[in-house]
Amino acid sequence: MNFKSIVASILGMILCIGVYHYTISNRENTIKIEHITSPNGKSAVMTLDDDGKIKPLTFTNTVDNVLDAVVHIKNTQTSDAIPQNRNSIPRNLPDPFKEFFGPQYYRFDAPRQSPNRPRVGTGSGVIINKDGYIVTNNHVVADADDLEVTLHDNRTYKAYVVGTDPSTDLALLQIKANNLPTVPMVNSEDIKIGEWVLAFGNPMGLNSTVTAGIVSAKGRNINLLKEKFAVESFIQTDAAINPGNSGGALVNLDGGLIGINTAIASPTGSYSGYGFAVPSNIVNKVVEDLLTYGVVQRGVLGVMIRSVDGNLAKDKNLSINEGAYVDSFLVNSAARKAGIEQGDVITKVDGHMIKSSPDLQATIAQYRPGDKIQITVNREGKDKDIDVTLINTEGNLNLLEKEHKKVLSIIGAELEDIDKSTAKKLDIEGGVKVNKLYAGKLKKHTNMKEGFIITKMDGRSITNRDELISRLEKKEGGVMFEGIYEYIPGEYYYAFGL
């Protein structure tokens, strides 16, 4: 055998070994093999840490650190929303567990139940505090009469809603427990496309399920939320998620929470390879506001924007192909007041690069009314820095006031005083309007509808919210609310126990 034949044989053996190991590693869903020492050697899946050092790629430690802190949430709807009065109200309750607007995008939901039976939907949640605070999606808990949380060790608790934010589809719950396992949040801006991630949740009744994938994209806007000030800048992943995963955790390999799983893109409503999670930076801001203020404090620029691409750049004769193009302004716009002009392209916020309109939405969502930020715009090919003071959704600089009271979370209601003109029209001295109902005593034990005006508690007149809260906090046992609806004749009575 000549020299060339020997070399060819050796190369052939190496090639065969390489192909064999590559095929096996693909079956094990790995990235690559660092090296092969011999045909009889044991293959290993390796990756690099932040310092460039080789380490084994494994998910077991991550699962051990996270799985106990992901919970199962059951939403039960039993009320028929008909007031306890001979005057009936047409029943037209929205089902929170349904397809998201259009045939392609879905929130994770359970099948519709018969209208004559309790409707049950399921989702997931993530424990973020050892004293029982749980983050989930707003659509998982919406319109619930009863919320039950089951931990990984099968302990069950009733949960009450601390607060919700439909603009980001997030909600904060609490259960009566302590010393619970938690998942720490990390800076979602540090996550890179192509990075490994794990999705935790309870899909299709399969509790405590873990799937692996990568970050497929960042800053996705899929036109999912219909709120006026909706914020969509999703992390996209190909980790398998399905109905029941809503509210579950998307984590990096260190076990840090990078997002809350929220929706999938699918022609069928089941996994097709594209999932979306609310970034942890937005989650952190929403949670902090709900705990501190009882309501999310949303800073607003007051601009209508769209992402810059090649076509828009050509159409508008722009010198750049990335950024958020300022199309128009809202009333009382903070941006216009500061000097931003129609046709400007926003490229930075406090030095943070803005590549698209979702980028801008997600960045501004982390600020509050009254915060001063520096906006960099590209105007006629030149960069210009402009200082802007953000306003709130009502067009002023004030933080929204909504005192967070535990008793309101227990009864599951958002209350406000009625104004003098409404009181005069209804011929009452005053009252407290039920703006929104959450899972709590009122939804579970009464048929009260949103919009009910409380005029009496236990036979004594109620004229304002503070008075009602004070009396509820001192009350034990049964409570009787008496009141009216603005557009429905008659008086209504609702009784429940504290």
Catalytic residues, by residue number, are 139, 169, 246
* DSSP H or E stretch at residue 15: helix 3-27
The residue type found at 329 is F
Q: Are strands 460-461 and 432-437 parallel, antiparallel or unpaired?
A: unpaired
For residue 76, list its beta bridge partners: 120, 146
Using alpha carbons only, give the angle 123, 153, 78 rounded to the nearest 5 degrees. Answer: 40
Calculate the alpha carbon distances from 335 to 328, 359, 369, 375 in Å. Answer: 10, 17, 13, 9
- Whether the CB-CB separation of 73 and 212 falls below 8 Å is answered with no
Residue 192 makes CB contacts below 8 A (sequence gap 6+) with 215
The rounded distance, in Å, linking the Cα atoms of 80 and 89 is: 10
CB atoms within 10 A of CB 356: 22
CB atoms within 10 A of CB 361: 22
For every residue of 280-345, DSSP letters joined together read HHHHHHHHHHHHHTSS----B--EEEEE--HHHHHHTT-S-S-SEEEEEE-TT-HHHHHT--TT-E
Tokens of 45: 């899946």
Calculate the alpha carbon distances from 120 to 113, 140, 146, 163, 496 in Å. Answer: 7, 11, 10, 21, 22
- Whether the CB-CB separation of 158 and 145 falls below 8 Å is answered with no
The residue type found at 295 is V
Using alpha carbons only, give the angle 135, 201, 110 rounded to the nearest 5 degrees. Answer: 95
